[in-house]
Amino acid sequence: MTRKTTLIEAGELAALSPQDVLIVDCRFELMARANGKRDVAKGERDYLQGHIPGAVYASLDQDLSDLSRQAEGLGRHPLPLASAFSAVVSSWGWRPGLQVVSYDAAGGSLAAARLWWLLRLVGVQEAAVLDGGYAAWLAAGLPVEAGKVTRAPSKVELHYDTSRYLTDHAHLLDAPERLLLDARAAPRYRGEVEPIDRVGGHVPGALNRPFSENLGADGRFKSADALRQEFLDVLGPHAPRDVVHMCGSGVTACHNLLAMEYAGLAGSRLYAPSWSGWVSDPSRPVAKG
């Protein structure tokens, strides 16, 4: 089979043999509420009610983050330790060379792109996001199944390429060639509203590229050519390798990373703590407007 490294269409995924692909359902709703509290289990409940046949489930909070590290100033969704991520991937039965396809309910703009990026971080190239997400699968009239899927576990030990992300707040602004791209919606970037974090605004010097601009009206990614031109317009004289993406907690920024890779602009990085990590210290400067 042809290796998919960024996006895959629903029909292409349906044509793959179950032995040739690991499908991961990453549905998760950051703002879901129940009885006045965060409803972190809604995505998994939706998965159990119906999902792409053969898909396992990944929780943004439990599998793709390590919330116990929030107190370290690493943001709302700190990266899991490589050992913990290795255990998660092993529990899914992944083996080197196996194609991985992740999807969510938001066109890949939430946890599906986060999983894609984590796999890239450990050197897995054959990882893709389902273009259009679960909605595209349903729109194509493809089958679904209910209940939990378990796969025979494997045993893999993965290691992060630490050159592909930043966690050091102190040195975020010390490289004049570095370009920060903030993936949050414009009102949050400007500091007009802030529904989640301590304060609104942005890191001084950061530019705004809302991740929602990567998608067309149908919820699927724009063409690679269109995305390439749009990002080049934002980058100006900066090379892709000089770009550092951020968002609220290091999740939706991965959508911009994916869009740039799909557009042929490889080499950008992630500021993993993102805005929630930056404002964990009130002494750090905040820009508005």
Separation between Cα atoms, residue 29 and residue 277, nearest integer Å: 20
Predicted local distance difference test score (pLDDT) of residue 158: 97
Residue-wise pLDDT tens digits, 258-271: 999 999 999 999 99
Q: Name the pLDDT band for 54 (thresholds 50, 70, 90).
A: very high
- Domains of the chain from N-terminus onward: 7-160 (3.40.250.10), 163-278 (3.40.250.10)
Separation between Cα atoms, residue 222 and residue 161, nearest integer Å: 29
Q: Which residues are within 8 A (CB) of 15 and not within 5 positions of it... i.e. 6 or more apart?
A: none
Residue 187: other Cβ atoms inside 10 A: 13
- The least confident of 17-21, 56-60, 171-175, 206-210 is 171-175
Distance from chain centroid for Cα 17: 26
pLDDT of 35 over the 80 cut? no
For residues 55 and 149, is the Cβ–Cβ distance under 8 A?
yes
Residues assigned a catalytic role:
247
Predicted local distance difference test score (pLDDT) of residue 39: 79
Predicted local distance difference test score (pLDDT) of residue 34: 59
Distance from chain centroid for Cα 220: 15
pLDDT of 98 over the 70 cut? yes
pLDDT of 187 over the 70 cut? yes
Residue-wise pLDDT tens digits, 68-83: 999 999 999 999 999 9
List, as one string, the DSSP characters of 167-186: --STTTTS-TT-EEEE-S-H
User: Once rounded to an integer, what is the mean pLDDT over residues 19-30?
Assistant: 94
The tokens describing 247, both together, are: 């968002």
Tokens 């396809």 locate to 101
Predicted local distance difference test score (pLDDT) of residue 110: 84
For residues 252 and 110, is the Cβ–Cβ distance under 8 A?
yes
- Percent of the chain predicted with pLDDT > 90: 90
Higher pLDDT, 38 or 166: 166
pTM of the model: 0.96
User: Once rounded to an integer, what is the mean pLDDT over residues 244-273?
Assistant: 98
Mean pLDDT of the chain: 95
Predicted local distance difference test score (pLDDT) of residue 36: 65
pLDDT of 6 over the 80 cut? yes
For residues 58 and 102, is the Cβ–Cβ distance under 8 A?
yes
- The one-letter amino acid code at 50 reads G
Residue-wise pLDDT tens digits, 218-242: 999 999 999 999 999 999 999 999 9
Predicted local distance difference test score (pLDDT) of residue 1: 66
Predicted local distance difference test score (pLDDT) of residue 16: 97
Predicted local distance difference test score (pLDDT) of residue 32: 57
